[in-house]
Structure 1
Amino acid sequence: MHQDDGRKQRLSLLCKKLRGDESVRSFTKKRAKELGGINFSTWSAWERGQADLSKDSLDKLVKFIGCSHEALGGYLNNFIGLEELFQPSSNNFKPNEESDFSPEVTTAWVKSLATQDKLFVATQGLQAFQEEFDKFVEARAKEKIELLLNLLSANTYPENSKIEETAIKLDLSVEDLRKLCDRHFS
């Protein structure tokens, strides 16, 4: 097999993996902006192994994948595997640069991982989400307490409109909040 044929075959596998189960037309249409001008006919030719990358399309594909030129070149020239191409490493992941963490690229990367690595990514994601969720719940609780304190800290019974407004913000029934005000101000 000629070296160019091997590059085209690896490019074809890469493009099919990035596209997933979506049709080429739908994929290129939905991601036109992210693909930076790579159109349906170009992507389709790559997938069929009928075209190689120009310098311009190489730059666009590197940006879309979120890897370095070296990493993509290493994959296309059969120095690294497809799985390694999606691995964040010191060679192809530079935190100071803007990276593409689009759902498509992230999904392709996660699918390329071994089972134990997928489990690690999932647990780390859940832990990070839990921390953010806890902060969100705490902030919402503080907001609700502040709304209730503002309502009940007045010297006089609050106006009906204020009770209704606060009940809506607290996701309480207006009647329950009126009962609370009645007890507090009696």
Structure 2
Amino acid sequence: MTSLIAGPDERHRCAWVGDDAEYRRYHDEEWGTPLHGDRALFEKMSLEGFQAGLSWITILRKRPRFREVFAGFDPAVVAAFGEDDVMRLMTDVGIIRNRSKIEATIGNARLVQEMAEGELDALMWSFAPSSSRPRPSSFADVPAVTPESAAMSKELRRRGFRFVGPTTMYALMQSAGMVDDHVEGCWRT
């Protein structure tokens, strides 16, 4: 498989974009762009957790509804969710109705609430590798797990966070711009 694909605008992009307009927008505007802030990173952590076992495009298409039913991923609001909210979310066809993932998101929000403002951001970014790491020349050079994502996962789990495995945390690192896995030749490089 080639690592690049030309879009309708003739820009070369990472081939995982395919011909999907939403993926193209996500690739061009979000993926690999440095993301900061506890709320933004809590949302990213939550959505990556919901993605486990599914394709990212599924989550991306459901993201507006996720944002709506999880109060914009405001940790203070989500932390206050109770059993009635879990039941409400379990019946919402606009999201992934996985009880374990829903409960993990609520529990993770409670953990974020216990942290000082900016602490989640500082913690997650402390695991970002050196920016001198070369860009991948092909998808074969893109790992699923790195020592940094394994360390991030281990520390988050030690603190009680759930659905934060090393592969999930590497996907978060990619999407939040902690690593730059746009392949060589991609217009974003």
Specify which structure has the bigger relative contact order, considering alpha-carbon pairs within 8 angstroms and separated by 6 or more residues. 2
Q: TM-score, normalised by structure 2?
A: 0.28
Q: Which has the larger radius of gyration?
A: 1
Structure richer in helix, relative to its length: 1
Q: TM-score, normalised by structure 1?
A: 0.28
